[in-house]
Each structure stands twice: as structure tokens, then as C-alpha cells.
């Protein structure tokens, strides 16, 4: 290969957006023929990918192209957004959704997805909180690994099966690392992180994804300790390759190499040299490698070995995909017709969407719980700007999803109640103070037997570049909710009124929480949103989803997360000089892990061995009983605190969960194994250790669980992992 051909391989070119989907930019054809492009992002379709492969075969070396796309929460069958998926607390369902997405997208010619996003986020102002699993590193790690396995099949499939499968995607945990800690929740902002938080909170999901076999990884836009990730040899070499033995491909984020210039690291040639030497293999969207590195190498400022090893890694990935044998093997319109949005995929989407729904409130109306609603209802008023907004239900990365495939909340209720008269009034826009629709909303609420308000954020109010300074309900929606509740109550105190939220971040909605008879969190659930919602509202499915993030009472509490440190002055209502606000409680509106079911559950019999050795695994068990007369879902959660350590430890940390379905009156004993790696943390000398001493455990249905046990570990401090390489 000539140097120019090598640099061409390392260049990933973006598709343009056309009228009906992605389009091939005009300059692409000749560049592909010249061997100046190694991969594309955001181009898919059997037609375009085949045509471009044909052009690649006309280049001197005939190296096939690889096509990447953000296949995040589905392809044509769109599943819940990742934050909603995390609310399922279901790793099998999460893997299944990724598997289906891979099967569908691969048929359209996509080889590589930029997922899973595994950034831990403690700040809901950050719009990209919707793309990840929330605030907890343990849940985040479990779901990161599940998605990698779902996208790639098992590790063996990508590494050497002959012939390799045609329905797997290279997975890309992103954004490596720390992007979720953008200051002020403002996207792309700078990040301040201590090394200990980096290792205890940010890194575990990345490590889990890599252990699960992720073939590639994406660098993050932010800096860490003064070095942007795209220029950090420490991150991309010392940590990723030397510590974690990652042998796969590193891709830049969109123009991440060129953005080293505004970061302040120098001119084009300098930053391209820093990125390739740091270990960014493929440059996405900017083209500084191609335009500057040949001269840098010839001048001896950049070693050719850096380019060569990047090219080898890319060619290996193409080889693993079988593209040297047949560059067209993914792009298959017959397969595409067979696999897209099949009845089976829709069924899975509905089941998973149901499992993501979180019931936040369910007060009594007319002497009975407000939900589930009676199926015999003759009239229902469905009110709110998001009730019939299929685009919002699709979420933020809809792939090949189409609004016309979506069952909106309104459509779902209409299907489920074919004999009822369902009126629909928007009432107010999602984001302005226009109240002209209030009168119609009040009238509809007055005239119907039940009211379902569908409020929240449109899908474009979260995700990339969509941070909000306020996480309250936008526009006039709160006023609409008050007006509707008042009108409903005035006509009949026994009228059920339910608010369903759609959103990509936790919303601070204290009035809804205090005043709404029922409050349901439904995120953006994908193509089956409305069916899944109707299943839950009418009691055909139990709302077993739980919150993967803490819900604040107000934006001013942010960051607020359950696994915080205590400080020397933990909040105490009876002591003024403790860590509180004078204008707001210090507690959240809803804690991490919280959610109600239609069933009720009781926990007992928490069994913890009283003592153990630091090197041992401990088995903890707890009995959960369904104390109601209906079947229901519960997420049994296990939390641990290291009561005293050589460094301060969080108040509690999730270390196990299991979602169970229990029939009326059924009891089950759930077991968890606490291994040393669950109890380990980054000590003063930066080694990951388990220290002897006292621990507290809690088991229950949320991070506020109160059933408590204790154990004591004796023995020497056990080193689970050596200190990370020193920062440079």
C-alpha cells in the first residue's frame, strides 16, 4: 500500500442527508475509486452500499468499504431509547433488542454500529442522558455487555467463524471516556473528574463492554485531566491497549480529530500527528489524516508504524466481517424484505416496551387504585401534545424507523378500547406558553369517564446538542395539567385522571407527583409505544420498570444521584449545619431503582453470612413475596456499603438485581453472589482492593430499601486489579 492508500483507509466519510434518507455525497464516487476512503458512516441501503462497493473494487487495491451507522435502539423495528431500555432492568431483553437491530440493519448493508453508549450520566440537563443506561455503573456495565453480545452475536462469531455471519454488527462502546460529566450538563463542555471517580464510576461499563468482546471503541469529545481524549496516549494506549488488552479498532468521534484545534493543541498537522500517535485509528468526518500525515511522516515527525498498525486493525475488522471474500454479503434486499419489522420483531418490541414503563404514582380514585383503567370505559379523553406524536415515540436514533410504523399513545388506546369513544385534544404545544387549547381540553376532561394526559418532552428536546438548563416540564404543560385535573374533578371526584410522561431525561415534576391520581413514566418506547402503554394502563401488563436515574425535585438539585458520598455533615433535619438546602428538601422526588407495580411486594429473610474473608465470594439471599391478589413484576435489588474504608465510600451501591414475575401470593427467594470485584474500589494508591472491615447490605425494591443486614470481612486487603498506568 502507498502511504496515501493507507491514509485513505483511515478516512471515514459521512453520508449526506437526502430527501428520503441518507444520500451519497457527490465527491464520494471518485474518492472511493481513488482509494481515498476506507469507510462510510450514515450511508445505508442495499442499492447505495452495493454501488459503492463496486466502485471500491475499481480502486487499485480493491479493498472493500465498511459501512457504519448509529444503530442505537433499533433499526426499522424501533425499541425504547437506551434510558428506557435501562428501566427494564432486563439484560436478556436488552440483548435481544440489540440482536434484532443487528439482524435488520445488516441486511441494509450496515456492518458497524456506534453503540452501545455507556457514558454514566449524573446530570439530566445533559441531553445525551437518554442515550445511556443512566447513573449507575453496575447496571450500566451489565447492560453494556448485553448490548455488545446482542450486536455482535457471541464473541466467537466475529472472531473467525467461517464463513462469518451476515447478521452481526461491530459494536462500539462510546464515548471513551468521561463525556457524561460535561460541566453544567452542557453538551460538548469540558469535564473535571477525579481519577478515583473515573475508575470507580466511569470506566466499569467500558471495561465490561470490552470484556464482552466489543470490536471497536469511540473516543470522546472531552478532555481528561488536560488532554482531550483524541490526543490521549494514556487513555488510548496505556489504559485501553496495555491494561485492558484491547486489540480492536479505535474510531474518532465526528470531527473529533479536527476539534483538537479549537481545544487548543495546535494546527492541523500537529493535531493529526497527536491523534494517530495517541491511538485514534480511524478519523471520522474530518480529513486531517489524509491531508497532513503524509508530509508529517516524510518529515519524520510521525512514525509510519502508527499508521501501519491502525491500517492493520481496520483491515482485520474488514476481514472478520468476511468482506474480502464477498464485499456485497451484507447488502441483501431479499433478506431485508424478510427481516424488517416482522411480526416477531414487533412482538419483541411490544414486550420490551411494556417492561420499560415505570409507574410512579397510583393513588385511589373513588375508593380504588386509579390504574389499571376499566376496560368497560365508554368515553376517554386523551389530552396533551405528545398523545399523537409518532415521531417522539420513535425516540432519538430511529435508524430506518418510520413514523407511520408507530403506534402512538392515542392509537394504542383506540385499538385497545375499540368500543369506547376516545376524544383527542392537544391542549397545548410541548414548548410554548400558548394556552388557547385549554378550553377544549377542559371540556374533553369534563365530558369523558376517564382522562389520560400525555405530557413531557418532544424527542428533539433531548439527545445530542439538546441539553436543557431546566428539567421542568416545558411550555404551558404544567398549567394544562392543572386545568385538566380541575375540570375532571369538578365534573366527578371519582373520575380517573392519569398523566403519562414521554421524555428522554428525568423531569422535575413535583406538582404532578403530589397531585396526579396516577403518574406513569414511559420514555420514548419506539414503534410499539402505544400498544405497550395501553397494555399497562388497562392492566394487561404489570408496570415492572424501575428508574435507572434519580429524579430531582428541581433543576437546582442537580447533580443528585443515589450513590453519593456522605461528607462530614450528612443531611439531618434536626441540625441546621448539615448538608441541605434552605428552600427545598435534600431528597429526590423519586430515588434510583424506584417504581410501583399493580401488585405489592414484601421483603423478608435477608440472609447474609456474618463473616467472611476478603478473598471470598458471599452468597446473600432475600425472600420477596407478592402480597397482592394479582400477578406482578418486581426488580429485586441488592445494595452494599463498605462502612469504613481507607478512602471515603458511597452511601450504598447497587451490586445485584433480578427482575422477577410473581403470581398472586407467590414468594421467591432470590440469591446474589457478592464477589471480591463487587466490593472492590480504588484505594489511595489507586489499586482496586477489597479491604477487611464491616459492610452493610440492603435488599428491596429501590435504592431506598430498608431491609438491612451486615457482614464483616477479615483477612488481608485483596488486590483485584493493580494501579492503573500513571497519567501522562
Q: Which residues bind ligand BGC (CB under 6 A)?
A: 41, 70, 114, 174, 253-254, 464
**616 part of the active site:** no
CB of 315 to ligand BGC, least distance (A): 22
Beta strands in 308-369 (DSSP E): 358-362, 364-365, 368-369
Grid cell for residue 151: 450486536
Q: How far apart are CA 570 and CA 579, in angstroms?
A: 6
Half-sphere exposure of 534 (CA within 13 A, CB side): 21
CB of 602 to ligand BGC, least distance (A): 43
Of 230 and 688, CB closest to ligand BGC: 230
Of 466 and 626, CB closest to ligand BGC: 466
Long-range interactions of 459-462: CB distance < 8 A, separation 24+: 459/391, 459/392, 459/393, 459/394, 459/395, 459/396, 459/504, 459/524, 461/127, 461/430, 461/431, 461/503, 461/504, 462/127, 462/128, 462/129, 462/130, 462/396, 462/503, 462/504, 462/505
Of 11 and 531, CB closest to ligand BGC: 11
Q: How far apart are CA 131 and CA 220, in angstroms?
A: 14
Instruction: Report the residue closest to ligand BGC, judged by CB.
Output: 114
CB of 187 to ligand BGC, least distance (A): 9
CB of 489 to ligand BGC, least distance (A): 45
Contact 701/660 with Cβ under 8 angstroms? no
Angle between helices 343-356 and 91-107 (to 10 degrees): 140
CB of 322 to ligand BGC, least distance (A): 24
Of 114 and 234, CB closest to ligand BGC: 114
CB of 202 to ligand BGC, least distance (A): 16
Asked whether the CA dihedral 442, 443, 449, 454 is positive or negative, the reply is negative
* Nearest CA among 372, 325, 345 for reference residue 166: 325
* List 253, 389, 405, 642, catalytic entry: 253
Of 147 and 522, CB closest to ligand BGC: 147
CB of 513 to ligand BGC, least distance (A): 32
Of 504 and 595, CB closest to ligand BGC: 504
Q: How far apart are CA 607 and CA 709, in angstroms?
A: 7
Contact 206/177 with Cβ under 8 angstroms? yes
Question: What is the DSSP track for 571-612?
Answer: --TT-TTSS--SSS-SS-SB-TT--B-SS-EEEEEEE--SEE
Q: How far apart are CA 614 and CA 676, in angstroms?
A: 7
Of 173 and 213, CB closest to ligand BGC: 173
The DSSP element (H or E) to which 295 belongs, if any, is helix 288-298
Q: How far apart are CA 22 and CA 652, in angstroms?
A: 46
Residues with active-site annotation: 253
Amino acid at each position: 500500500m502507498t502511504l496515501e492508500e493507507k491514509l485513505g483507509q483511515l478516512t471515514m466519510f459521512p453520508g449526506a442527508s437526502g430527501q428520503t434518507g441518507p444520500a451519497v455525497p457527490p465527491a464520494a464516487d471518485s474518492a472511493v475509486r481513488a482509494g481515498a476512503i476506507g469507510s462510510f458512516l450514515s450511508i445505508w441501503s442495499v442499492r447505495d452500499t452495493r454501488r459503492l462497493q463496486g466502485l471500491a473494487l475499481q480502486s487499485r487495491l480493491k479493498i472493500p468499504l465498511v459501512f457504519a451507522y448509529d444503530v442505537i435502539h433499533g433499526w426499522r423495528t424501533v425499541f425504547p431509547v437506551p434510558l428506557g431500555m435501562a428501566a427494564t432492568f432486563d439484560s436478556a431483553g436488552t440483548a435481544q433488542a440489540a440482536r434484532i437491530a443487528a439482524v435488520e440493519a445488516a441486511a441494509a448493508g450496515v456492518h458497524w454500529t456506534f453503540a452501545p453508549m455507556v457514558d454514566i450520566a449524573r446530570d439530566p440537563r445533559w441531553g445525551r442522558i437518554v442515550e445511556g443506561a443512566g447513573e449507575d455503573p453496575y447496571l450500566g456495565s451489565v447492560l453494556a455487555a448485553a448490548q455488545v453480545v446482542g450486536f455482535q452475536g457471541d464473541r466467537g462469531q466475529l472472531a473467525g467463524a467461517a464463513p462469518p455471519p451476515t447478521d452481526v454488527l461491530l459494536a462500539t462502546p462510546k464515548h471513551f471516556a468521561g463525556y457524561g460529566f460535561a460541566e453544567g450538563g452542557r453538551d460538548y463542555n469540558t469535564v473535571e473528574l477525579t481519577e478515583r471517580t473515573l475508575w470507580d464510576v466511569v470506566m466499569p461499563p467500558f471495561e465490561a463492554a470490552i470484556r464482552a468482546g466489543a470490536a471497536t471503541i469511540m473516543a470522546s469529545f472531552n478532555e481528561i485531566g488536560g488532554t482531550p481524549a483524541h490526543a490521549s496516549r494514556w487513555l488510548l494506549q496505556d489504559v485501553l491497549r496495555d491494561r485492558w488488552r484491547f486489540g480492536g479498532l479505535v474510531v474518532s468521534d465526528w470531527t473529533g480529530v479536527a476539534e483538537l484545534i479549537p481545544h487548543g493543541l495546535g494546527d492541523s498537522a500537529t493535531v493529526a500527528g497527536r491523534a494517530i500517535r495517541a491511538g485514534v485509528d480511524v478519523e471520522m468526518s474530518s480529513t486531517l489524516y489524509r491531508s497532513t500525515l503524509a508530509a508529517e511522516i516524510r518529515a519524520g515527525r510521525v512514525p509510519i508504524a502508527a499508521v501501519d498498525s491502525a491500517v492493520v486493525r481496520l483491515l482485520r475488522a474488514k476481514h472478520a466481517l468476511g468482506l474480502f471474500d464477498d464485499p456485497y454479503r451484507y447488502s441483501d434486499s431479499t433478506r431485508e424484505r424478510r427481516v424488517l419489522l416482522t411480526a416477531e420483531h414487533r412482538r419483541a418490541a411490544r414486550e420490551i416496551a411494556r417492561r420499560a414503563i415505570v409507574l410512579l404514582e397510583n393513588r385511589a380514585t373513588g375508593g380504588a387504585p386509579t390504574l389499571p383503567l376499566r376496560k368497560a370505559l365508554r368515553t376517554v379523553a386523551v389530552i396533551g401534545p405528545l398523545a399523537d406524536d409518532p415521531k417522539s415515540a420513535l425516540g432519538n436514533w430511529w435508524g430506518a424507523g418510520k413514523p407511520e410504523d408507530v403506534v402512538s399513545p392515542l392509537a394504542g388506546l383506540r385499538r385497545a378500547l375499540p368500543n369506547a369513544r376516545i376524544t383527542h385534544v392537544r391542549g397545548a404545544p410541548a414548548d410554548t406558553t400558548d394556552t388557547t387549547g385549554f378550553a377544549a381540553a377542559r371540556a374533553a376532561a369534563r365530558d369523558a369517564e376517564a382522562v389520560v394526559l400525555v405530557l413531557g418532552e418532544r424527542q428533539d428536546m433531548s439527545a445530542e446538542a439538546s441539553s436543557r438548563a431546566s428539567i421542568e416540564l416545558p411550555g404551558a404543560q404544567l398549567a394544562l395539567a392543572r386545568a385538566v385535573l380541575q375540570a375532571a374533578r369538578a365534573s366527578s371526584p371519582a373520575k380517573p385522571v392519569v398523566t403519562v410522561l414521554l421524555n428522554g431525561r428525568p423531569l422535575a415534576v413535583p406538582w404532578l407527583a403530589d397531585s396526579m391520581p396516577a403518574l406513569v413514566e414511559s420514555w420514548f418506547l419506539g414503534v410499539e409505544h402505544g400498544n405497550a402503554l395501553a397494555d399497562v394502563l388497562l392492566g394487561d401488563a404489570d408496570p415492572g420498570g424501575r428508574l435507572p436515574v434519580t429524579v430531582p425535585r428541581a433543576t437546582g438539585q442537580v447533580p443528585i444521584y443515589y450513590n453519593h458520598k456522605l461528607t462530614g455533615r450528612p443531611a439531618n433535619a434536626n441540625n441546621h449545619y448539615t448538608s441541605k438546602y434552605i428552600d427545598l428538601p435534600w431528597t429526590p422526588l423519586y430515588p434510583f431503582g424506584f417504581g410501583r407495580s399493580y401488585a405489592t411486594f414484601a421483603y423478608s429473610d435477608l440472609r447474609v453470612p456474618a463473616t467472611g474473608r476478603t478473598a471470598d465470594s458471599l452468597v446473600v439471599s432475600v425472600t420477596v413475596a407478592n402480597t397482592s391478589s394479582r400477578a406482578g413484576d418486581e426488580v429485586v435489588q441488592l445494595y452494599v456499603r463498605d462502612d469504613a474504608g481507607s478512602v471515603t465510600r458511597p452511601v450504598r451501591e447497587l451490586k445485584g438485581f433480578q427482575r422477577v414475575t410473581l403470581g398472586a401470593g407467590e414468594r421467591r427467594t432470590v440469591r446474589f453472589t457478592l464477589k471480591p470485584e463487587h466490593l472492590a474500589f480504588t484505594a489511595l494508591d489507586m489499586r482496586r482492593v477489597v479491604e477487611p472491615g464491616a459492610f452493610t447490605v440492603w435488599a428491596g425494591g429501590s435504592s431506598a430499601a430498608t431491609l438491612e443486614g451486615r457482614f464483616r470481612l477479615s483477612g488481608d486487603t485483596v488486590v483485584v486489579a493493580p494501579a492503573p498506568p500513571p497519567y501522562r
